[in-house]
């Protein structure tokens, strides 16, 4: 089921489009080494993570903070779909939403990712080309800790979910943004918040 911003509901049965059974969830990688080249050794710092994502000095509190973290990628179950020309875009979106929950896919973004034109407007618009392929959700999560003066001043995370949308013009797919949760601050702001928390804890 897909509900647009005006409250119009388009219902679809995902089983009408599933061509292969659901596969199990797989963790693609953990503790991915994508930290900056200037990352230093943790040594005796009070953090559980190995990778350094940033260093900031606070002149207000005369303290340096370091942001450590871990990145995890997880793919959800995979499903293979086939949509014929003339299928309502709302039906396509409703079926794609079967691989994840809680987020939103917009009509223009999905149509562009599919590589199709639309006849009509809104969720009732019809795709002008058949499209098929595999779709799945991918969750990218960063867990962070800010360390200052050998103390953890902040623990937080960010999590972004994308959905793989097959393209009608080639064998490729586009990862379409679907849902973002967790800390919305920049890494710099996280570090300064952690420094301030350490200052408060010791004064």
CA distance 9 to 11: 6
pLDDT for 171 equals 72
pLDDT digits over 5-47, tens only? 555 555 555 455 444 434 433 333 333 333 333 333 333 356 6
CA distance 122 to 9: 11
Share of the chain above pLDDT 70, in %: 77
pLDDT for 113 equals 92
Q: What is the CA radius of gyration of the chain?
A: 22
CB 166 within 8 A of CB 92: no
pTM over 0.75: no
Residues 117, 75, 173: CA angle, nearest 5 degrees: 25
* Confidence band for 120, pLDDT divided at 50, 70 and 90: confident
DSSP string, 133-192: EEE-EEEEEEEEEEEETTEEEEEEEEEEEEEEEE-SSSS-EEEEEEEEEE--S-HHHHHH
CA distance 168 to 159: 29
pLDDT digits over 82-99, tens only? 889 999 999 999 888 888
For the chain, which residues make up each domain, given as ranges? Answer: 2-201
């Amino acid at each position: 089921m897909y509900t647009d911003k005006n409250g119009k509901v388009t219902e679809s049965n995902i089983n009408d489009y599933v061509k292969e059974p659901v596969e199990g969830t797989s963790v693609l990688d953990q503790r991915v080494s994508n930290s900056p080249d200037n990352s230093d050794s943790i040594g005796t710092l009070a953090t559980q993570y190995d990778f350094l994502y940033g260093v900031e000095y606070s002149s207000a509190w005369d303290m340096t903070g370091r942001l450590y973290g871990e990145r995890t990628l997880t793919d959800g179950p995979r499903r293979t779909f086939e949509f014929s020309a003339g299928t309502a875009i709302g039906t396509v979106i409703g079926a794609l939403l079967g691989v994840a929950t809680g987020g939103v896919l917009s009509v223009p973004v999905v149509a562009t990712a599919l590589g199709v034109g639309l006849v009509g407007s809104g969720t009732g618009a019809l795709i002008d080309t058949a499209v098929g392929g595999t779709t799945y959700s991918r969750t990218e999560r960063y867990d962070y800790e800010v360390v200052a003066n050998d103390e953890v001043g902040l623990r937080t995370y960010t999590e972004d979910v994308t959905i793989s949308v097959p393209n009608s013009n080639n064998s490729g797919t586009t990862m379409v943004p679907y849902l973002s949760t967790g800390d919305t601050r920049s890494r710099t702001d996280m570090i300064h918040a952690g420094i301030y928390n350490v200052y408060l804890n010791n004064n």
